[in-house]
Amino acid sequence: MKPTFTKIHEALNWASSFLEKQNREPFAAELLLRHHLQMSRAQLYASMRDEWTDPDGKIKEAFIEDVYHYVGGTPVQYLMGYEYFYGRKFEVNEEVLIPRPETEELIEGVLKRKKEHFSGDGGTLDVVDIGTGSGIIAITLAIEDPSLQVTASDIAEESLEVAKRNALNLEAPPIRFVQGDLLTPFIDRGEKFDMIVSNPPYIPEGDIEGLSDIVVDHEPMRALVGGVDGLDLYRRFMEQLPHVVKDHALIAFEIGVGQGEDVADMLRKTFQHKDIQVEIVHDINGKDRMVFGRF
């Protein structure tokens, strides 16, 4: 039986209560309602006592349908088709990982260390974002720092199409998009970079069962799982990195909780001849989340 409501606050109350009873996040009700009514949060709360005006009932029907889809496990971001990252609206679908706030901290860390590490360098710097997905890292870096010449790569052409649309919609400076497996296309071309940034798949295979069905059933596994211990992609990076970094370089990784020392040790061993400086940085929740290497 479909719910009946005549005022906006009634729609929100129904959806929130229904989601809570179904052990889903009640706040998703507000996100979906704002999406379908095309309102900001302030507009929504100012309109709470207003009548629901929807002559043909299509908005109500779509809203109710999305609430049921969310209960069924579809992420709210995929239902809306977007997520905000670094204050910008990025398109997302099931071909790309939903942006996480921790990755905003990676961006901040990269921009801060870029200024420190290349303070005496003039001109542009070449940076590549490996496994770009929806393009959040590459596009944000390009917009935040126009001195960067940004390349974004991904193994999946479907993900690159999403990233290209995001770059266009956000009017980002020119970004080069390359399809390929990790750093292989750049090794083949003999290209080298000043900065290499990546948020690779780092969840151990055994941890997948403990994740929400919303994540497991809908987000792309290729962007989540990093082998038995979650470190497979980092090991592959270590084999390839020496072939694509310039003599003066910055490397930045997002990592999973508890992986900091392992990834830091890999970088030290890979670049032991370069006297590399390695940092493990914690996120706002106090968990190791980033590893930076520079020489």
Report pLDDT for 275.
87
Report pLDDT for 206.
64
Whole-number Å distance between alpha carbons of 112 and 290: 13
Report pLDDT for 96.
95
Contacts of 158 (CB under 8 A, 6+ apart): 95
Amino acid (1-letter code) at residue 195? M
Q: If you write DSSP's letter for every residue of 88-148 in order, what string do you get?
A: EEEE--TTSPPP-HHHHHHHHHHHHHHHHHTTT--S-EEEEEES-TTTHHHHHHHHH-TTE
- Per-domain residue ranges for the chain? 8-72, 95-294
- With beta carbons less than 8 A apart as the criterion, state whether 201 and 222 touch: yes
Residues in the chain: 295
Report pLDDT for 121.
67
State the DSSP H helix or E strand holding residue 64, giving kind and residue range, or none if neither.
Answer: helix 58-71
Whole-number Å distance between alpha carbons of 56 and 76: 24
pLDDT in tens, the chain (295 residues): 678 899 999 999 999 999 999 999 999 999 999 999 999 999 999 999 999 998 888 999 999 999 999 999 999 999 999 999 999 999 999 999 999 999 999 999 999 999 999 987 668 999 999 999 999 999 999 999 999 999 999 999 999 999 999 999 999 999 999 999 999 999 999 999 999 999 998 777 666 666 666 666 666 667 566 777 889 999 999 999 999 999 999 999 999 999 999 999 999 999 999 989 999 999 999 999 999 999 9
The topology (CATH level 3) of 95-294 is: Rossmann fold (3.40.50)
